[in-house]
Amino acid sequence: MSGIGKISFLLSVLSLIILIGLRFVIGGWTNMLWFPFVLFLVTFVSGVFAERRLIVDFFTMKTTKNGMSLGALIIMVLVFVAALNYVASTQNKVFDMTEEKINSLSPQSEEVLKGLEDSLKIFVFYRGERNQSVPPGLASLFDRYERASNQVEVRYVDKYQRPDLAEKYLDSSDQSKDQLIIFVDHKGKFFRVSESSNFEEAITQSIVRATRKSAKKIYFISGHGEREYGESGVEAIYELKSNLESLAFEVADLSLSTKLEIPDDAAVIALVGPKGQLLQKEQELLLDYVRGGGHMLVAVDPGQSHGLADFIKRLGAEFKDNYILDPNSPLGPAVVVGNQYDRAHPLTEKFDGRTTLFRLASQIAKHEDAPEGLTVKEVLLSQPGSVITTDLSKRRYTESDSYPFGVVVEGKWDPESVKESSVVLLGDSDFLTDQLFYTLSNRDFALNIFAYLAKEKDLISIRPKSPKSSTLRLTSAQRLGINSAGLALPVVFVILSGVLWYRRRSS
């Protein structure tokens, strides 16, 4: 190699080292970096030109050609691996093979995240080492939220390193605690995630509260022996009220006997389990509310003196005031198993394969003379094999069949009206009580009713469930077999490798 070639290649290498070093120190590209870059190009081209004959002779050698073939193969493999890694990093896809889908977000969480229109931040405040403070399972849950929506950003914040954020979100007492604290922030509106055994549900509820522009109000009618939500109890609906509030609804009492008026801010009116009779003027007020585009839940029980059969008839359905008995129910014939749903209706389309329980429910069916302009659908039926009786003391039953006890009435009462009304009619109110609220899918069905009536489509879904513990139980023989296999397999492989080595050596 000539002296000019050596000097040119040496200057090109030095220029490249200076270029890379300055680029790393500055942290970006500036005009001053053009000088070492141009110097590198000029000196490299000069070196190649000066040693062009040597380079041509080198590439025409037989050993070089063979080496280049191998080098080309290595480069192709490296390019393939790099391309595969790039696709894997940009197209993140996770497959959840668990039976209960514990490594996936629930349908409700996915629906809520799908409706995000603005960025949302989840702040995770910890103290000390992040890997020791944030459990791996919780970190994986945060990753699932980020994968589900591009609008979600999870930020891990050390309380000591970011005192400005700690002061903004945390109380003075929380700043010195080792406790992990989570906040959801949406456009400056933030809520603390409550401690729960089901963190996904708590996080999703906080997201719902943070993203709602205003809280919709649900009024529960009182004064006729309805279910009460003030305190927990077997016959109360305290858990229902608590769950509605966690979804950013406001719950209030409505006494029509005190003031015969429907509040203007009512998103939903609920009449749950009345025992006494509603006055005619109260019924007319509720009918006018529905006709004007209102939304209402009517959950009534058979054998009571509420006198709502005519009221329900004017809404487009028929309250039979009888008893549906289910001889196949695992909890006795009085507990009706609801597992027949209208798959086409938005209220029940996601309930295929799910079960709800009701106690002493009455048949409610579509009325033949339903008002024009309304759509009346039977969305919930008892399981096949159920029977009907009008008197529990006498064993006189109808033929076994599947009977409706959940009806949805929706549409415009006036063709010129702008608003559409919606009414959910149910022949039982026990499923809303604290005793049955968390049984099977009762909670999902109850909350979906209010989400449907309040026009909160992203809340009509199946909520997160706590994963069940899975235990692998082995007999003594099975444990012995596994331990023996663990010891024997390495020995077998060592023997096989020795045999192969000896045969190759002999050949």
- Parse the chain into domains and list their residue ranges: 3-90, 107-208, 215-459
Residue 275 per-residue DSSP state: -
Q: State the pLDDT at residue 10.
A: 85
Mean per-residue pLDDT for 46-70? 73
For the record, the structure tokens of 315 come out as: 């809404």
**Percent of the chain with pLDDT strictly greater than 90:** 54
Provide the 3-class DSSP secondary structure of residue 295: strand
Q: From the CB of residue 364, how many other CB atoms can be counted at a distance below 10 Å?
A: 26
Pick the more confident residue, 329 or 65.
329
Strand ranges inside 265-354, DSSP E? 266-272, 295-299, 317-319, 323-325, 335-341
pLDDT at residue number 311: 97
**Most confident among 80-94, 134-148, 157-171, 437-451 (mean pLDDT):** 437-451
Cite the DSSP H helix spans in 212-275: 238-246
92 contacts: CB under 8 Å, gap ≥ 6: 147
* Cβ atoms of residues 426 and 436 within 8 Å: no
pLDDT of residue 465: 65
107-208 maps to CATH 3.40.30.10: yes
Which pLDDT value is given to residue 90? 66
Beta strands in 40-135 (DSSP E): 120-126
Q: Return the closest-CA partner of residue 150 out of 130, 120, 175.
A: 120
Q: What pLDDT sits at residue 340? A: 95
CATH 3.40.718.10 correct for 215-459:
no
Three-state SS sequence of 475-497: CHHHHHHHHHHHHHHHHHHHHHH
Evaluate whether 107-208 and 215-459 have a shared fold: no
Round the average pLDDT of the chain to a whole number and report it.
88
Q: How many C-beta atoms surround the C-beta of residue 7 within 10 A?
A: 14
* Residues 282, 256: Cα–Cα separation, whole Å: 7
- Looking at 9-13, 83-87, 191-195, which range is the least confident one? 83-87
Q: Using pLDDT thresholds of 50, 70 and 90, give the confidence band for residue 490.
A: confident
SS3 per residue for 170-228: CCCCHHHCCCCEEEEEECCEEEECCCCCCHHHHHHHHHHHHHCCCCCEEEEEECCCCCC
For the sheet containing 181-186, what is the strand order?
Answer: 152-158, 120-126, 181-186, 189-192
